[in-house]
């Protein structure tokens, strides 16, 4: 045989092997509603834009997600669905998509399984965005690299802003179970879809890990306490998220989850302003009209303590042992507040802000945060945002899980620094490392060792999804968090386990939130006596 013929035969063999490999991937699946066909790229098949609920439009606006509308034939699942309707300008500025629709309840699946019987662990991603923004088709959320690590990756959409979290007295009466948690109910519907369908993609419905960042991480925390999500997941990962402050009844500093009464009043004001005299008129309004008057504030709409999906103060629920007890892997970034605090802060302004917001605990907080100069006051303002929004809820979650749960808690601290973020890692900077998709807008200038750090974090995340323990051969030991030995895995230039950082600051806020919780109890007791 001549050399030329041998090369031709070898080329044909390689092409045949590649074709066989592609054919051996799962490219079609029978799911709730019908059959879907994905796209095979290398050793990963992706299924994009798969419906998990009926479009929440018309009469289904502001209702619990309804079952999928079935289809005939094979539905092509080769493109992302539009993001849930939100402020387009702000979403695009934050790196999100530019196409939105009220018809948005779709999810995506990436799998490297060769057949349906592989039973790979499943990871379900919940995006962030302050409950006002977010979509699954952001490039850094592409699940290919995680699928190649040995999991089935699912990313799911959920309604945001007024479409996901508007409460109203009439909506509460209509449901008989409160209102204002439609976005969380979307997540629960997606998890039910995963339980019923993920085996078709080679996934194991008995090993489902929910994970998310920011509002997505807060959502993971809420699902960990929600009776409605019981049994739908088996591990939880929260990146910069947690919801353990008391329920907000007015404008208490550092409290986000509104009471049903407070949220209903805000929703009534919004619909009255739109001229909607009843729910029928409100549902006849265009989505654009509702979004326009809702504004762009990231904190205006938040999941509501409706009494059913979110029964109340999550801290107290954990203390009473009423939560979904699974292993948790949770953490924060070192300079989270840099994304949210941009303006110069003077010492006088800093002190006035603390005294006006933290009542009798202002002195303790002022003592914990240096503020003698403008530079110190600015840094402390950022750090207080970090503590109240992310670090204190994460620390409290780890403590409560280790004290009240049978499953373990693992805590991390992401501290990768760049020329743009010399004070520490900004909010959302870890996402591109978890997904191994460089180039996110929060990541900053590439640094030496980035690929190694990403591989390390992915290994921990995937190990945790497999077994509930992030540790593995060749990885730095990551001890479980305990009340007596409070350690976090530091992701920096020398990843290792170290004591929980900023502990005195966390303790100062722990005292503050305890006071707010006592206030809430006393208020409820007084209301009970009046009734």
Catalytically annotated residues: 214, 336, 427
Contact 162, 270 (CB under 8 A): yes
Q: What's the residue count for the chain?
A: 531
Assign 3-state DSSP to the chain and report helix, strand, coil percentages, each to 5.
45, 15, 40
Cα(97)–Cα(262) distance, rounded to whole angstroms?
32
Judge contact between 360 and 515, C-beta under 8 A: yes
Strand ranges (E), 303-416: 328-333, 409-414
Which residues are CB-neighbours of 282 under 8 A, at least 6 positions away?
61, 62, 168, 271, 274, 276
**Cα Rg of the chain (Å, integer):** 24
Dist CA 241 CA 332 (whole Å): 8
Strands 120-126 and 203-213: parallel
Q: Torsions phi, psi of 14, nearest 5?
A: -65, -45
For residue 277, give both structure tokens: 């005299």
Strands 34-37 and 28-31: antiparallel
Contact by Cβ (8 Å): 225, 314: yes
Residue 408: closest CA among 319, 494, 479: 479
- Separation of alpha carbons 346 and 372, rounded Å: 9
Dihedral pair phi/psi, residue 70, rounded to 5°: -70, 160
């Amino acid at each position: 045989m001549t050399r030329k013929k041998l090369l031709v035969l070898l080329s044909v063999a390689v092409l045949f092997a590649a074709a066989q490999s592609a054919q051996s991937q799962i490219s079609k699946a029978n799911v709730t509603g019908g059959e879907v066909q994905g796209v095979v790229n290398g050793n990963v098949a992706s299924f994009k834009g798969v419906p998990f609920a009926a479009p929440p439009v018309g009469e289904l606006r502001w209702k619990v997600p309804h079952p999928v509308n079935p289809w005939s034939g094979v539905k092509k699942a080769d493109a992302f669905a539009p993001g849930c309707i939100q402020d387009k300008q702000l979403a695009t500025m934050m790196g999100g998509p530019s196409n939105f629709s009220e018809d948005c309840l779709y999810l995506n699946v990436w799998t490297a399984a060769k057949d349906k019987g592989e039973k790979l662990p499943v990871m379900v991603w919940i995006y962030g965005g302050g409950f006002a923004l977010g979509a699954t088709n952001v490039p850094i959320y592409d699940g290919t690299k995680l699928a190649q690590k040995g999991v089935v990756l699912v990313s799911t959409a959920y309604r945001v802003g007024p479409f996901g979290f508007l409460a109203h007295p009439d909506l509460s009466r209509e449901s008989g179970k409160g209102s204002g948690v439609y976005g969380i109910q979307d997540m629960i519907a997606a998890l039910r879809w995963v339980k019923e369908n993920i085996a078709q993609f080679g996934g194991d419905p008995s090993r489902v890990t929910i994970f998310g960042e920011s509002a997505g991480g807060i959502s993971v925390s809420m699902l960990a306490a929600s009776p409605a999500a019981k049994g739908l997941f088996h591990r939880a990962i929260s990146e910069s998220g947690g919801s353990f402050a008391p329920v907000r009844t007015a404008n208490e500093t550092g409290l986000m989850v509104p009471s049903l009464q407070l949220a209903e009043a805000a929703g009534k004001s919004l619909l009255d302003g739109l001229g909607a005299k009843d729910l029928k008129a409100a549902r006849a309004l265009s989505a654009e009209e509702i979004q326009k008057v809702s504004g762009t504030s990231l904190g205006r709409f938040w999941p509501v303590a409706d009494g059913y999906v979110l029964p109340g103060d999550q801290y107290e629920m954990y203390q009473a042992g009423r939560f979904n007890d699974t292993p948790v892997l949770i953490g924060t970034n070192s300079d989270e507040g840099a994304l949210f605090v941009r303006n110069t802060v003077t010492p006088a302004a800093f002190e006035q802000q603390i005294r006006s917001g933290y009542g009798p605990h202002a002195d303790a907080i002022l003592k914990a945060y240096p503020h003698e100069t403008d530079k110190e006051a600015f840094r402390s303002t950022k750090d207080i945002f970090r503590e109240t929004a992310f670090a204190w809820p994460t620390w409290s979650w780890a403590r409560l899980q280790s004290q009240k749960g049978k499953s373990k808690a693992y805590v991390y601290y992401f501290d990768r620094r760049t020329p743009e973020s010399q004070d520490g890692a900004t909010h959302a900077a870890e996402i591109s490392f978890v997904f191994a998709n460089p180039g996110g807008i929060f990541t900053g200038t590439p640094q030496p060792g980035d690929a190694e750090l990403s591989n390390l974090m992915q290994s921990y995340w995937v190990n945790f999804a497999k077994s509930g323990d992030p540790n593995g051969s060749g990885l730095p030991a990551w001890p479980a968090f305990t009340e007596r030995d409070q350690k976090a895995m530091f992701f920096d230039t020398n990843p290792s386990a170290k004591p929980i950082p900023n502990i005195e600051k966390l303790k100062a806020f722990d005292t503050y939130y305890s006071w707010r919780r006592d206030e809430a109890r006393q208020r409820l007791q007084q209301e009970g006596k009046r009734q």
